[in-house]
């Protein structure tokens, strides 16, 4: 999931080009080429670096060490590297806190004093208790010497006596579920292994969870199939866990289990990708009954989410027949779904989140990718708008239908997350936590602009910069994008971006098609053979910045992570002239083979699959790895982690090796491979600072920026 206080020590400023930014030519290690190829619908596709897919082999490990040695050598010559690292450490060192939530008699929240590798879980009987009077429940920093064991999810039993929690190591998606007695703060002997893509839901003295069978091959690259739901009773061995649900006919499906707050009903969601679900429900008071489908969704075209229930009345958020979502209610009794009613109809804005609170509805909407929040009665009648502070994104709304309050946090581009308490009688909010950060938030501003993409589609973009900054066609711009999987990029404070803002740069976030900012239609317009729309939207954002004489192409850096790494890989291979610096991070870069590793097959709903002829043609046309040609590429740093089992590092390995062979410019083609790190979630603070410091030193060096 995505928390610190020092004096302002240095100020970053943008300077004109400096002659001391010369760099020795890079001598890349020789990467062996194999004679490997595949036939796709009569077309022979070579894959000379296939051997790098074996990420645990001694040969690949040796290649990783050599590449990191080259990258470290290059970075050691950048004179602002240590200054960037020091200032980033200062900026990072501020207090952070999540929005508290209540379970039983206790309140829980996460805190970080500043530079702790992992945030610490605390509990209290009083919400307004002073920070020092809260009791520490679990400090993940004690679980490993280097901070690479992360706390992922927690779930508190209904009687608030026991906590289930999951941990992961070295950034892996694999998790272990453990249990802690909240009175003694001691761990119970129960341990559940080989858990992935799972929540934890309590029922009595046990939990429902999802897992795979123990891998027979590489745990970090083997394809994940055969997901199942189990029930674990405290005090028993995992081998005795009760199998609750599986689907042998669809081994690629994933399943997540959810119990209602009253623990009477069990809901299971089946999915085949990162969006779209098939919901099923079961009354746990009825013995030996089957699950009842809540809705037909054979091709997983729609999303469904049970928000809450009041006795036998359920509230369901869905985009079926409502591209921007609606809230419906229904009753479930005698194994039948009845009395369906639309409570909040689809509107012109995206209905992003719904909670029941004090037997009322709190709903947050996205208005051009920024949040607005409203209160309604249970029949959908508007009570009032809940005031929010400017352009922001609502995060982590915590409440219960029986509580007369809620807590939530808001995120902005210019300030760290703040936490609010909402009175569910008056619907007035009060600030309960504001961090102390050395970044001078009041000196910066965020505006939203709109531009036209290649096909004329209107695209919004957030631009954040220092107040009074004069654009002169030479202003450094950092453009960050994603554009996929129905995920929205809204206002979000990223402390590492503060370096760039302090230096007089402009931080730009375009809301590309393929994301979820405007609902299902916006998402669908950027998937499969329409994926080029996403790249065109991003390219048009860069062209807009140049056309408006804000910057020029030699002053633009582009960045994206995961699916955003694909975005950067595609953009830089299609338009190598579009930027001076490219930073594809943990990217999906081999579009012909992504589906054969770990959970990659779940992405075919967004990308398509090379085993389908029409989709192969589209994928091959833009696949970053397969579209590297002899060209003058921008200064490039590929970033990945050697334990990434979400997007396996072979994508980045093969991409970097090919770039190093084909690049004709004098710019470096580096790869930075984080050791004992994964896709990003749970990465310790020290590793994050090291990674971002290198990323920003590399970027500022090539954009000819400096620090005072």
The catalytic residue positions are: 562, 679
User: Is the Cβ–Cβ distance between 662 and 629 less than 8 Å?
Assistant: yes
User: Is the Cβ–Cβ distance between 579 and 634 less than 8 Å?
Assistant: yes
User: Is the Cβ–Cβ distance between 332 and 265 less than 8 Å?
Assistant: yes
Residue 616 backbone dihedrals phi, psi, to 5 degrees: -60, -45
Q: Single out the residue of 335, 215, 138 nearest to residue 598, CA to CA.
A: 215
Q: For residue 76, how many other CB atoms are within 10 A of its CB?
A: 10
Q: Which residues of 553-592 are buried (b: 16+ CB within 10 A; e: fewer)?
A: bbbbbbbbbbbbbbbbbbbbbbbbebbbbbbbbbbbbbbb
CA-CA distances (angstroms) from residue 155 to 208, 233, 340, 349, 702?
A: 11, 15, 31, 32, 46
Q: Which residues of 231-258 are buried (b: 16+ CB within 10 A; e: fewer)?
A: bbeeeeeeeebeebbeeeeeebbbbbbb
Q: How far apart are the C-alpha atoms of 36 and 176, rounded to whole Å?
A: 38
The DSSP string of 194-241 is EE-S---EEETTEEEEEE-PPPSS-TTTS-----EEEEEETTS-GGGP
318 beta partners: 304, 326
Q: How far apart are the C-alpha atoms of 327 and 368, rounded to whole Å?
A: 20
User: Is the Cβ–Cβ distance between 116 and 104 less than 8 Å?
Assistant: no
User: Is the Cβ–Cβ distance between 587 and 560 less than 8 Å?
Assistant: yes
Q: For residue 170, how many other CB atoms are within 10 A of its CB?
A: 23
User: Is the Cβ–Cβ distance between 672 and 140 less than 8 Å?
Assistant: no
Supply the Cα-derived Rg of the chain in whole angstroms: 25
Q: Single out the residue of 201, 126, 669, 663 nearest to residue 432, CA to CA.
A: 126
422 beta partners: 406, 429
CA-CA distances (angstroms) from residue 192 to 84, 106, 149?
A: 42, 26, 16
User: Is the Cβ–Cβ distance between 653 and 48 less than 8 Å?
Assistant: no
């Amino acid at each position: 999931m995505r928390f610190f206080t020092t004096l302002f020590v240095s100020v970053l400023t943008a300077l004109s080009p400096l002659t001391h930014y010369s760099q020795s030519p890079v001598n890349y290690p020789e990467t062996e080429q194999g004679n490997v190829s595949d036939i796709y619908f009569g077309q022979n596709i070579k894959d000379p670096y296939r051997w790098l897919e074996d990420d645990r082999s001694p040969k690949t490990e040796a290649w990783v060490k050599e590449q990191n040695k080259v990258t470290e050598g290059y970075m050691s010559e950048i004179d602002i590297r240590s200054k960037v690292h020091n200032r980033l450490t200062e900026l990072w060192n501020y207090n952070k806190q999540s929005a508290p939530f209540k379970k039983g008699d206790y309140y829980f929240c996460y805190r970080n004093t500043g530079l702790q590798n992992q945030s610490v879980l605390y509990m209290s009987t009083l919400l307004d208790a002073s920070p020092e009077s809260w009791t520490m429940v679990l400090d993940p920093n004690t679980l490993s010497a280097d901070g690479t064991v992360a706390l992922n999810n927690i779930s508190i039993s209904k009687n608030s006596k026991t906590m289930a929690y999951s941990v992961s190591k070295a950034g892996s998606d694999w998790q272990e579920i453990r249990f802690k007695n909240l009175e003694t703060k001691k761990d119970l002997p129960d341990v559940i292994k080989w858990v992935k893509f799972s929540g934890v839901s309590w029922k009595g003295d046990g939990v429902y969870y999802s897992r795979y069978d123990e891998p027979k091959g590489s745990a970090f690259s083997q394809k994940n199939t055969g997901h199942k739901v189990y029930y674990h009773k405290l005090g028993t061995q995992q081998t005795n866990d009760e199998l609750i649900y599986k689907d042998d006919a669809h081994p690629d499906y994933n399943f997540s289990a959810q119990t209602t707050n009253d623990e009477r009903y069990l809901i299971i969601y089946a999915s085949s990708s990162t969006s779209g679900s098939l919901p099923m429900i079961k009354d746990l008071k009825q013995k030996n009954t089957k699950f009842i489908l809540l809705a037909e969704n054979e091709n997983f075209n729609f999303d469904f989410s049970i928000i809450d229930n009041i006795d036998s009345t359920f509230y369901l958020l869905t985009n079926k027949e409502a591209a921007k979502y609606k809230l419906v209610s229904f009753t479930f009794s005698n194994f039948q779904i009845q009395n369906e009613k639309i409570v909040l109809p689809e509107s012109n804005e995206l209905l992003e989140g719904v909670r029941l609170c004090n037997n009322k509805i709190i709903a947050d909407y996205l208005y051009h990718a920024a949040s607005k929040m409203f209160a309604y009665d249970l029949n959908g009648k508007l009570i009032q708008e809940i005031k929010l502070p400017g352009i922001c994104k609502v995060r982590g709304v915590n409440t219960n239908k029986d509580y007369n309050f809620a807590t939530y946090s808001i995120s902005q581009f210019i300030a760290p997350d703040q936490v609010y308490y909402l009175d569910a009688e008056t619907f007035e909010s009060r600030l309960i936590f504001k961090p102390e950060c050395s970044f001078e938030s009041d000196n910066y501003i965020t505006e939203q602009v709109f531009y036209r993409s290649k096909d004329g589609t209107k695209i919004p973009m957030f631009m954040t910069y220092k107040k009074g900054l004069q654009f002169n066609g030479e202003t450094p711009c950092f453009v960050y994008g994603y554009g996929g999987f129905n995920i929205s990029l809204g206002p979000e404070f990223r402390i590492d971006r503060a370096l760039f803002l302090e230096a007089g740069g402009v931080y730009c976030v375009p809301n590309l098609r393929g994301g979820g900012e405007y609902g299902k239609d916006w998402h669908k317009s950027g998937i499969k053979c329409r994926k080029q729309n996403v790249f065109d939207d991003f390219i048009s954002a860069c062209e807009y910045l140049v056309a408006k004489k804000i910057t020029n192409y030699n002053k633009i850096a582009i960045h994206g992570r995961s699916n955003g790494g694909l975005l950067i890989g595609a953009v830089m291979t299609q338009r190598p002239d579009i930027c001076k610096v490219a930073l594809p991070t943990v990217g999906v870069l081999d579009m012909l083979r992504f589906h054969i590793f770990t959970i990659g097959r779940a992405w075919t709903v967004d990308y398509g699959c090379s085993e389908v002829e029409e989709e192969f043609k589209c994928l091959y046309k833009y696949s970053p790895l397969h579209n590297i040609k002899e060209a003058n590429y921008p200064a490039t740093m590929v970033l990945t982690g050697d334990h990434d089992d979400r997007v396996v590092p072979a994508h980045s390995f093969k991409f970097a090796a090919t770039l190093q062979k084909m690049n004709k410019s004098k710019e470096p083609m580096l790869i930075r491979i984080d050791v004992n790190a994964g896709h990003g979630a749970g990465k310790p603070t020290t590793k994050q600072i090291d990674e971002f410091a290198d990323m920003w030193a590399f970027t500022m060096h090539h954009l000819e920026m400096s620090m005072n």
